[in-house]
Each structure stands twice: as C-alpha cells, then as structure tokens.
Structure 1
Amino acid sequence: MGGTGVVRWKATGEVRSLAWDGDDLVDRVGGGRRWTSEGVEHPSRRMYAYPFDRAVVSPSGRYAVVYTERGTKALLLDGQRIVRELDRSHYHAEDFDYPLALGSLADGREVLVHCPDAHEVIEVEDVATGERLTRGERTPMDVFHSRLAVSPDGTRLLSAGWLWSPFGIARVYDLEQALTEPAVLDGEGLLPSTSWRDAEIDAACWLDGDRLVVAAGEDEDEDEDGEDGEDEPAALGPRQLGVWSPSERRWLHRSRLEMPAGTLIGRGDDVVALYAYPRLIDAATGTVLAEWPEVGLSPRVGSYGVRHVPTPVVALHPDGGRLAVAQPDGIAIITLPRPVSRDRRA
C-alpha cells in the first residue's frame, strides 16, 4: 500500500529537532534555523556548546526545551532566550530517554513536566514563573519515567517508561488531582498493570483527552502461532495495539500489529507509527491506511536500551495534514491522507 506524495528539502547539516511554525519548520537544537514553506533553509548564528540532540516545544510555541536524549542536561528557552538550565539524575541516564514534556493545563497555563531530582519522581512546574506545582510529601514507586506527555485537554499525564528487569510499562495520571495531591504521581495511576499481559509496552500516545493508544511488543514465550492467551479478552495482548479510555477504565479497541509500532504520534482517530519507516494506522482496527517505506527511519522500539538507537526526529503539522521527517540529507515532507472520523467505541 503506497502513501501520498513526498517532497524532500535539503539541509546543510544534521537535523536534530523539528517543530512547525505556521508552514515553516524550525530546528530549535540548531539554534532556530528555519525552512520556509518553499523548503528554503535560513541558518541561525546561535550555537550551543553542549551537544544537545533533541527538543520539545510548548503548545503555544513560545517555550522550548533543548536536551540530550541520553544525557542529564537541558535548557529551557523563551523564544531564543535561555531561561534556565535543567537537570535529571545521572542514575542510568545513558540507558533511557530524558523524561520531559511541555504542555498546557486545563486552565491554559503552560507547564514543564520532568524528573529534576530523581528518576522516579515526576514534578510539574509553571513554565512562565518556574513555580513548582507539585510540592508535598512523596512516596514514589521505583519507576523509570520516560516519554512524558500531557493530554491535549490538560487533564492527564502519560509516562511510557520502564521497571527494573528491565520491562517497558505505561502509566496514566490524573494531572488535575496531582496539583493538590502530588503523591498521585507516585502510584499505579489510571492504567492498571493488569490491563495488559505477557508483553512489554513499547509505545503510547494520546489521541485526545480520554483516548490513549498503547502498543505492546512481542512475548518471548508466546507460541509460534501467536494465539497464546486468547482467553483473556480484558487485557491487551502481545503484538497488539489498544485504545484505552481512562474515564471508562477499559480498552475501547484492541487489534493485531503485523510489525513493531516504534514511536507513536496521535492524529484524530489515527496514529503515525515510526518503526523503520512511517505508517499511518487506524487506531481502532490496526489497519495500515498508508505507508512510506522510501522514507527510512531508525528501528527504534521503547524508551530504554543499553544500545542507544535514537528516536526519529519528526513533526506532525497541527492541521494533521503533513508529517516532517528528518533524513540524513535533509527533511522529507509527507502529505498524509485526510483524517476521517472513525471513532467506534466498543
């Protein structure tokens, strides 16, 4: 199954981050260098002495954090101005992705979510003032938080990290409750560990404020025919893609995956899967709607691993119509099929 058109833009050097600004693309790690909608690159004179290799941008576009995916250092930026340095614990920092997110609360405040003091303690801070909003007594479980993401409506928080073994997991927290009861961020959350079985959680992302997509990996002990455990209908099984509703506390959909999902990006009722090359998948059925094998990506699975395979550098346009993908010689701009509403709650 082929995808729609791919346009390629040239870049003068490695593209280490991408964010849409209108129809332009910006590389924050590259000092704010920019590509216009015609694909013309405008370099930046700003350079960072530290080897940052990734960036996240706040929903408003005003704030950004540049960081090292497998390091301990980061910078919070307001436009081009450095606001402050950020750190995380050195404990196994080289083995899992920096836990970091920028998002908006339900009241519109933009927040920084990270683990500045310990790998197992999530903190939420007001980006504009630096005020820590999660002060209070904490009793954390020994979880290596990673791949943090605030839900689009600002009410919930996702962590797609791991437990010591190692074993990939996902946690979903009530973010509004955490602002008055920070210890909420220390428990199992709204996605019980009994909701999946036998396999690690490889990836997760938000579709909207009450739908979470979760991809489970393979089970090393699974029977060759792949039918092991089919008598457990309430749980997400190995090599499955599921849509979880925190409010209903159940899987709305579960379907089989033919290949690993890699990193996931939500788009309406679809997800973009980024293992080896981009694929657009119907989140409810697991059907591949389009794919672009000519746009190569790293075979990255999960948020941890002693052998570091970098996370693909991509950016989905806010209108959901275009996907920008960093390539060795520039940027591939993929025009995605138009979204079609297909939410079918079981």
Structure 2
Amino acid sequence: MDLLPCGHAAYAGPGRMCRHLLADAERHRHVRLLTGRGIEYDRCCRDCAKDADQGERVDLLAACEGCTGRCEADWSIIGWQGTPGIGRRPEPCDTTVRDTPLPADVVDFAPVDGGGSTWLLLDRDGRIGRFDADSGDWTVLAASSVPEEPDHDPWAGHELRRRLHADAGGRFAAVVNDFGHHGQVLDLRSGAVTLVLDGGDERPDTVPFSAAMFEYRGRALVMHRTAWNRLDVSDAATGELLTSRQPTSYTHGRPRPGHYLDYFHGALYLSPTGRHVLDDGWVWHPIGIPHVWDVHRWLDDNVWESEDGPSLHPLAQRAYHWNNPMCWLDDQRPVIAGLGGDDEAMLAGVRVFDADTGSETTAFAGPTGALFADGLRLYAAAAHGLQVWDPATGEHTGTVPGFVPTRHHRGAGELACTDGPVLRRWRTPSAPTPAS
C-alpha cells in the first residue's frame, strides 16, 4: 500500500485536503470546495478558500480515511464554495393550478378525510369550518377562544401566529399560538373545548407550538408540549393524559431526575401512519438537533421514550439552525432541509435518514423551501414555484411556476396554499383518480 501525502499508508478517503489541514491534525474547521459532481467536495482552510475564491491555484492532496474523517462532523464546516452538481431529468408535469374562492378570511387550514378535497378552515374570528373545495360547501362547526399573547416579543423575526391542526377524520381540531404557549383542542361535533393546552413560558418564542394530531387504536390523540422540555399525548375527546410520568423537571440546587431532558421541543412532523415523529427542537448554546422516535413504543411500552428511549435518535447538529423545512418521504424516511452544520454555512439541499437507526441514507443539493412528499416524489416550495424531485436519484424533474404550497392533503393527492381570498390547489402525479 502506497504512502499517501498525509503521511499514512492507508486507503484514501473521499475528497482532497489542502496542505494546512493535512499539517495540523487538530484543525477540523474547514471550507468545502464543491467539485460540480453532485455534492462531492474537497476541503481547505479559510486562507486557501480565499485564494480559491480569487482564482488562485490551491494545492489539494489525497488523504487517508482517518484524516478526511476528522473533518466530517457537521459543526466543522465553516462555508461552501463552488456550485453543486444538480441532475435534471425533465418529466411530463401538469402545471394546472386550481383556484377556488374561500368562504371566509382564512388564517390557517388543515386537510381532513372527506372523499375529496375537504379542509378545515380557521378564520380571523376564530371560527372553524369544514370546506369542500370541489363543491364550495362551507359549514361552520365551532369557535376557538385561544387567548391572545400581547406580551409576545418576536425572536429572530418569528411573529406570533395562529395554527390549526386536525385529526384525519375531521372531528377534532387544535388551535395553537405558534411561537407562543397557549392553545386548545375542540370537539367539532359539539363545539366544546376538550383540552386546554399550555406549552410553558420558557422561550416559547423560539419554536412553533409543538402539536400534532393522529389516530391510534381507534382513538383521536393529540401530541402537545406541556413544558419546554416535555411532550405529552392526550385523548382528544376526553383530555385524558396518556403519558403520565414524573419528575421531568427540577429546581436549582437539587439533583437532576434520571430521565431529565435538556431540550427545547419544536415543530412536530408525524410520519404518514403516525408511527414515528420528527421533532425540530434545539439545545443551548443554540444548536438545532432534530430527533426522531417511535410513537407506538412511547404509548405502549416506555413512557420515557421521548426523553431517552432506545428508538430516540438525533439526526443532525446545526448551530443556530432550526425551524426549517422537514417532511417524511414515507413512514420510514424523514427528510430535513440544509446541508451543513451552521446557519451561516448551509448549502441548499436535503438529507434523508432512516428512522429506526438515525443514520443518513442519502443527501443531494438543490431543494429549497417547505418540503412535502408522497412516497414517490419530493416537493419543495421554492420562492419562484414548486420544484419536483426524484428522491432516489436526487434529480430535478419538474416545476410548477408561481405555485408555493404550504399544506399537503395526502388523501386527495393535493398540495395547496391560500392566496388572499382563494385556495390554490395542485394535484400530485401520484394522486388518486377522482370518483366519477
């Protein structure tokens, strides 16, 4: 085996390194120089990166797996230079977007089952109604009364906003204050409030209110934050707490509890069947660390699963980087936006993980904006319009110009957004055929 320029007789690692990184075994922080072949890159120090940016030649040398490996941590990236290679494989794409007049001044909306394009709408007065976008039928079902939070001081530009969540059947809804700490669950048959939500007052301004609705074993359930570092699951119909456990907090000067979690829970993303949940939370000093775990195991086997259970896996560490797009390709593969380990050194793209192991399975550059998926294609709501991607190859296959969706109706096979007085909808290629 030949001696490599790094001084080691070993297998060569991926990419090359500048002489300064090779000479200093303690130096990890580096700039990644994209080669134009996918997200393949070489590594160099800041000074060499400046030289490269000015068009000067930079000597890049082969290094062993050990030397390249010490620079692989997300936090070691201080920047990207160059252009990634983005594959393009144009496919037929119907760009028809349907605009339907809305019956109210809508502040948020959520998909529900109903045999077609059926949605719950939350209007500016707090009313919740059922809307059939195909027929235009609109029925007001209940009125929410979530308290205002006039003392809210926006952090990093995150204004307080009302958010609507719904169970698949459309009987229950949760209205919460994103970047606040108040909310409530309502039975839409009776209009009654079944559960008052309070996410606690420890930095709620840094994250959307952690809430998600799902069905399990024939019951409509709501997952919700009850403290900055605690999530619970309750029965949506009765408000019964299903994840009772103590203690989860402690006071200064006392020993920490055995399962104590030092983590600020963030936005929650349930997999299509509700088997897994993806949590976009963070820790001090501000580092976003998305976590994934098995919801069924949490409810059936281990009430501490969300704190330190065996199915709990961190997916990445990104300084000052959370509240960013995420979704599920299917029930097994979570997707998070951004390539890199620091908010100031992030390349547009996505990383795909395995929920059972927490390991990254693939990554590719290009997608930007809110993410959605239907098992076959990944959709990214870029500012200029919807991008369609093949997650198996990382290729860009189509665009819907001017359409920037915010919600996905899996049952109807639609992506949608509100635009003033209209609901805009686009059918995904794998959408079910409408009934005749």
TM-score, normalization by structure 1: 0.75
1:6 is matched with: 97
CA 1:147–1:45: 2 relative to 1, 3 Å: closer
The 10-residue stretch of structure 1 (134-143 or 33-42) with the greater mean CA deviation from structure 2: 33-42
Q: Could you tell me how far 1:270 is from its partner in structure 2?
A: 2.2
Percentage of pairs with the same residue: 23
- How far residue 243 of structure 1 moved from its aligned partner, in angstroms, is 2.4
CA shift in 2, pair 1:189/1:216, >3 Å = farther
Other structure's SS at 2:179 match: coil
Question: Which residue in the other structure is 1:99 paired with?
Answer: 210
Q: Name the CA shift for 1:222/1:147 in 2 (closer, same or farther; >3 Å).
A: closer
Q: CA deviation at 1:197?
A: 6.1
1:275-290 correspondence to structure 2 within 5 Å: 275-276=382-383, 277-290=385-398
Q: Could you say if the C-alpha distance between residues 27 and 249 of structure 1 is closer, same or farther in structure 2, counting changes exceeding 3 Å?
A: closer
Q: 2:304 aligns with which of 183, 186, 189?
A: 183
Report the CA distance between 1:114 and its aligned residue.
1.0
Q: Structure 1 residues 40 and 249, CA, compared in 2 at 3 Å: closer, same or farther?
A: closer
Question: Once the 2 structures are TM-superposed, how far is the Cα of residue 285 of structure 1 from its aligned partner?
Answer: 2.9
Alpha-carbon contact 2:184-2:197 (below 8 Å) kept: yes
Query: SS at the partner of 1:68?
Result: strand
Q: Are residues 1:207 and 2:329 paired?
A: yes
Structure 1 residues 71 and 88, CA gap change in structure 2 (3 angstroms):
same
| Residue of structure 2 in register with 1:247 after alignment | 356
Q: CA RMSD in A?
A: 3.2
Measure how far apart 1:239 and its partner are: 3.9
Alpha-carbon distance between aligned partners in 1 of 2:398 and 2:427, rounded to the nearest angstrom: 11
CA distance in 1, matches of 2:429, 2:165: 25
Q: Could you say which residue in structure 1 is the equivalent of 2:289?
A: 169
Residue 102 of structure 1, CA deviation: 0.8
Task: Provide the secondary structure at the position in 2 that maps to 1:274.
Answer: strand
Pairwise CA distance, 1:331: 1.1
In structure 2, the partner of 1:120 is 229
Q: Distance in 2 between matches of 1:153 and 1:177?
A: 14
2:379 match: 272
Q: Cα 1:23–1:15, aligned 2, differ >3 Å: closer, same or farther?
A: farther
Determine if the alignment matches structure 1 residue 89 to structure 2 residue 200: yes
**1:26 matched to 2:128:** no
Partner residue in 2 for 1:160: 280
Paired position in structure 2 for 1:146: 266
- 2:381 and 2:98 map into 1 onto residues whose CA distance is 18
**How big is the shift at 1:208?**
2.8
**CA–CA distance in 1 between the matches of 2:394 and 2:318?**
20
Q: Is the 8 A contact 2:269 2:326 kept in 1?
A: no
Q: Does the residue aligned with 2:272 lie in a helix, a strand or coil? A: coil
Report the count of equivalent residues. 306
Note the residue ranges of structure 2 that are not aligned, 5 or more in a row. Answer: 1-89, 149-160, 249-258
1:40 aligns with 2:136: yes
TM-score under structure 2 length normalisation:
0.61
Residue 335 and residue 121 in structure 1: after superposition, are their counterparts in 2 closer, same or farther (change >3 A)? same
Measured after TM superposition, the shift of residue 252 of structure 1 is 3.0
Query: Is the contact made by 2:128 and 2:143 (CA closer than 8 Å) also made in structure 1?
Result: no
Deviations 1:190-211 (A, max 9, x none): 4644x54667463322233322
Whole-Å separation in 1 of the counterparts to 2:230 and 2:318: 26
Name the structure with the higher strand share.
Answer: 2
Q: How does 1:126-141 map to 2 (within 5 A)?
A: 126-137=235-246, 138=248, 139-141=259-261
C-alpha distance in 2, partners of 1:44/1:218? 45
Match of 2:122, SS state, is coil
User: Residues 8 and 91 from structure 1, CA distance in 2 versus in 1: closer, same or farther, beyond 3 angstroms?
Assistant: same
Secondary structure, aligned partner of 1:279 = strand
Contact persistence 1:140–1:183 (CA under 8 A): no
Relative contact order higher in (CA < 8 Å, ≥ 6 apart): 1
Q: How far apart, in 1, do the equivalents of 2:229 and 2:209 lie?
A: 12
Q: Distance in 1 between matches of 2:118 and 2:274?
A: 25
State the 1:76 CA deviation. Answer: 0.6
Q: Deviations over 1:140-169 (max 9, x none)?
A: 322111221333344322211222332322
- 1:333 maps to which residue? 425
